A and B are shown apart, each in its own frame.
Chain A
C-alpha cells in the first residue's frame, strides 16, 4: 500500500515536472517570435506613412520619399513567379498524386524535395547564369524565374498531398458515370482539393515574397518605376536590404517600415491560409 502510494507520488511529481518543462519550452520558443514581431512593429510603425506607399525613393540626403516602386515590383515578381510556379506546381502535383507511383514519379518527387532544400542564393546564381548572362542585363523576368523555381516544388508537394487526400470513392463515382479520366482528375479530384491547394499557394507566395537572395543578381534593384519586364526592377526585400546597410538614419527608418509591410503581408497570407484551411477541415467533419 505504502509502496503503491509512493509510486503514485513519484508519478505525480514527474508529471508536474514534465508539464513545467514543456510549458517552459513553449515560452522559450515564443520569446524570439514575439520580440521580433513587437520590435519590427514598434520601429516600423513610426516610419510608416502614406508617402511610403505612394512616393518613389528620394535621392540621398533628401528626407522623405517612399517605396511605391518596390511594392509594385514585389507584386510583379510574385506574379511572374506564379506564372511558372502555379501551372507547373499544380499540374506536377496532380501527376505525382494520380500516377506518380512509378520511377518517374519517384525522381520528380526526389528532385522537388532537393530543390526545396537548395539555398535560395544558389537558385539566384543559377538564374544569373541561365538568363541574366545571355540577356546581358538584370531583369524582372530573371527575378520572376528565380522565385518561380523556388515556388514550383513548394506548390507541387502541397498539391500532391492534398490531391492524395481526396477519397478514392469520388474518383470512382465520377469514372462510373462514364466521365473520362482526365476530366475526372481536373473537374472532380482537383476541384475537391482546391481549397487546400489555394492554402498551399498562399503559403508558397508568402515564402517567396520574403526572399532577397535570389533577387540580388537577377532582378537587381531600381530607384524608379519600371514597366518593362526586361529591365531591372525594385523589390521590397532588396530595397530593405540596401536601405538597412546604408549609413543614413532616414533610410534605416524606411527599412524598418519596409520590414513591417513585408511582415504584415506574410502574416496576413499565413493567417488567411490557416483560416481557409481550418474551414475546410471543419466542413469535412
Chain B
C-alpha cells in the first residue's frame, strides 16, 4: 500500500508526521479520565514452546475506546491480543502466565471456562474467514445457533441488527441465502465482524482486520470501528501506523515482546516519550 512507503521516507521530527496523520479534520480525542478500565492485563507472559513472545506486559484497556497495538512484525502484538480472549492457548505448546482481568474477573483463574470468556470477548481475524458451507445469513447466525439459540424471529432480528452494525445490511439484504464466500474481501471481513457482533460481545479484538484489504475497504473497516466504539471496547492490532493514528484513541507500542510505550494516540505520535517509539513512528526501523 502507498501509505507504507510514505512512512518510510526519511523525516526528522515526529511532529511533522502527526500533522500528516491527523490533518485538520480529526476528531477531538475524548477525555481519558472519563473512561473506565475494561480490561487490565497484569504482567502477562506468553510462550510458544521455547519462544518467549510476550514479556511481562501490563496495560489497562479503556471502556468504549479503540486501543491500537502497533509494532514491527514479530513483536508479539498479535500474541498479546490472543491472550486477551484465551485464543493463544489453542496453539500447541502455547502457555500464558500473568493475569488478565475483564472488569473484576481474572479470565485465567482456575475454573474459568474459556468458552464463556470468548463469548464476552469476540475476535476478528487478519484474513476474512466466513464459514464456506454457510450462507450469509447462517454465517451471522452461527454464533447463536451453535450455542443453542432457536427461534426464527430472534435470529432474524439479531442478524439484521448485526449486519446493520457492520454496515453490510444494505449490500446483502437481498441475497441472504448466498454463500458468504461469494462476497468481496472487504464485504467478507464486514460479514465476519457482523458474525462476531451477533453474539453481543463486550469487547472486540481485531487482529490486523484490514491487512488483506484494499484501501477503500480498509477505510470502511476503520469507520465501522469508530461507530462500534459507542457500544463496545475495541482492541485493534495493526502494523499500519497511519491506521492506528486514524482510528484509535489510545495506542500501545510493542517491541520484542515488551510494551514500550502506551498512551493517548495523539500524544504517542506527537510527543513519544521513548526514543524507540520515536524511531519506529518516524520510520527509522520496522
Contacts and interface: CB of A to CB of B under 8 A. Distances in A.
Given A179-B147, A183-B146, A191-B133, A172 B87 contact: yes
Given A167-B129, A192-B131, A194-B133, A176 B87 contact: yes
Nearest to B145: A187
A114 B115 CA distance: 38
A176 B192 CA distance: 11
Interface in B120-176: 120, 122-123, 125, 127, 129-133, 142-143, 146-147
Interface in A163-211: 167, 169-170, 172-181, 183-184, 187-188, 191-192, 194
B67 interface: no
Given A172-B87, A187-B146, A177 B122 contact: yes
B196 A177 contact: yes
A177 B199 contact: yes
B87 A170 contact: no
A101 interface: yes
Contacts of A183: 146-147
B90 A178 contact: no
Interface string B110-125: 0000011111101101
A171 B52 CA distance: 25
Contacts of A169: 125, 127, 129
Interface in B68-100: 85, 87, 90, 92
B146 to A, nearest CB: 5
B195 interface: yes
A169 B130 CA distance: 9
Given A180-B115, A191-B133, A192-B132, A174 B125 contact: no
Contacts of A170: 129, 131-132
A187 B131 CA distance: 10
Given A174-B146, A176-B87, A284-B132, 20 more contacts: A101-B92, A169-B125, A169-B129, A170-B131, A172-B90, A172-B129, A173-B192, A174-B142, A175-B87, A176-B118, A176-B122, A178-B147, A178-B199, A179-B142, A179-B146, A180-B115, A181-B115, A183-B146, A187-B146, A192-B132
